[in-house]
Amino acid sequence: MTTAIEIKGIAPDKSMETCARQIIVSFYHEMMSHKTGAIEGENIKCVHDMRAASRRLRAAMDNFANCFQKEPFKKHYKQIRTITRTMGAVRDLDVLITRFQNEAQTLTETEQVDIQGLIEHLQQKREAARKPMLALFIELDASDFETQFLTFFEVHE
């Protein structure tokens, strides 16, 4: 389980909008801190952590939507939702693969051979699910999404 991130700049004397911006930007950075690991694809924890962070970010955006202009906010929200969904497709397969790998250890040798075929099939599906995820990251980089997102949500004091 991920530990809670520290969000600086939150105080009772700050406006709700200022606090919302700080929270959203902090959650965005948390999400993106897992991007390299998710791209590399070796450690399934990175995909899980990035997806979980994207869900926390979306929850914060849901809670503070009224603090922002509707149209630009909506564009950024949709992109974060796309990240969550794309990560989810990979994460779901990671969970299944891990489950069957653990279960295989309790089976007979013949059953292990059968389940290994299923695991290999799921691993192929995972690789296929990673392609849209990797393409999304390339698209986000090419469109300079990060700069646009952070510029929109930067704190105005």
Contact between residue 75 and residue 61 where contact means Cβ atoms under 8 Å apart? no
Classify residue 8: in a domain, yes or no. Answer: no
Q: Quick one: pLDDT at residue 8?
A: 78
CATH of the domain at 100: 1.40.20.10
Tokens of 8: 């600086």
- For 70, the 3-state DSSP assignment is helix
For residue 106 the two structure tokens come to: 């309790």
* Tens digit of each residue's pLDDT, the chain (157 residues): 556 677 877 888 899 999 999 999 999 999 999 999 999 999 999 999 999 999 999 999 999 999 999 999 999 999 999 999 999 999 999 999 999 999 988 988 888 898 999 999 999 999 999 999 999 999 999 999 999 999 999 876 6
Q: Is the residue at 42 inside a domain? A: yes
Note down the domain range covering 116: 16-153
Number of domains in the chain: 1
Report the pLDDT value the prediction gives residue 134, as an integer from 0 to 100. Answer: 97
In a domain, 135, yes or no: yes
